[in-house]
């Protein structure tokens, strides 16, 4: 299975995480599983990347954290919910994606040009 390198995905982790928070709050472990599932195993986010993205995005006001105190066994779990600012950020990143895609495709040669 081909994998995606970090430099290529860089700049999209925000959009990926925010997408999963659009519908419901979630937490690190769950999000990492969902990224794996939704990408059909093609992208597996590193734990450190994910958790540092949470910290960064909370600082930027894109997400808010809250701790689930009621978990059976008293285990801590930090949830994140997307803010309105986060939704706006998602929208603008989505537009930027469209643009970026168009630009990059101009630099993709078809097989013939590669010989």
Partner DNA sequence: TATATTTACTACGACAGACGTACTACGACA
Partner DNA sequence: TGTCGTAGTACGTCTGTCGTAGTAAATATA
Which range of residues in 72-80, 85-93, 94-102, 105-113 is near DNA by CB under 7 A? 72-80
User: With respect to a second copy, which residue has the nearer C-beta, 70 or 111?
Assistant: 111
Only segment of 41-49, 87-95, 100-108 that touches DNA (CB under 7 A): 41-49
61-89 as b/e: b if 16+ CB within 10 A: ebbeeeeeeeeeeeeeeebbebbeebeeb
Residues binding DNA (CB under 7 A)? 5-7, 9-13, 27-30, 45-49, 51-54, 56, 72-78
């Amino acid at each position: 299975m081909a994998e995606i390198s970090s430099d290529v995905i860089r700049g999209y982790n925000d959009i990926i995480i925010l997408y999963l928070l659009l519908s419901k709050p979630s937490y690190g472990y769950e999000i990492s599983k969902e990224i794996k599932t939704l990408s059909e195993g093609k992208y597996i986010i590193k734990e450190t990347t994910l958790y540092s993205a949470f910290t960064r995005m909370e600082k930027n006001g894109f997400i808010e954290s809250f701790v689930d105190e009621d978990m059976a066994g008293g285990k801590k779990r930090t949830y994140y919910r997307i803010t309105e600012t986060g939704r706006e950020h998602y929208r603008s990143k989505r537009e930027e994606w469209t643009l970026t895609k168009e630009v990059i495709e101009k630099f993709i040669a078809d097989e013939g040009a590669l010989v």
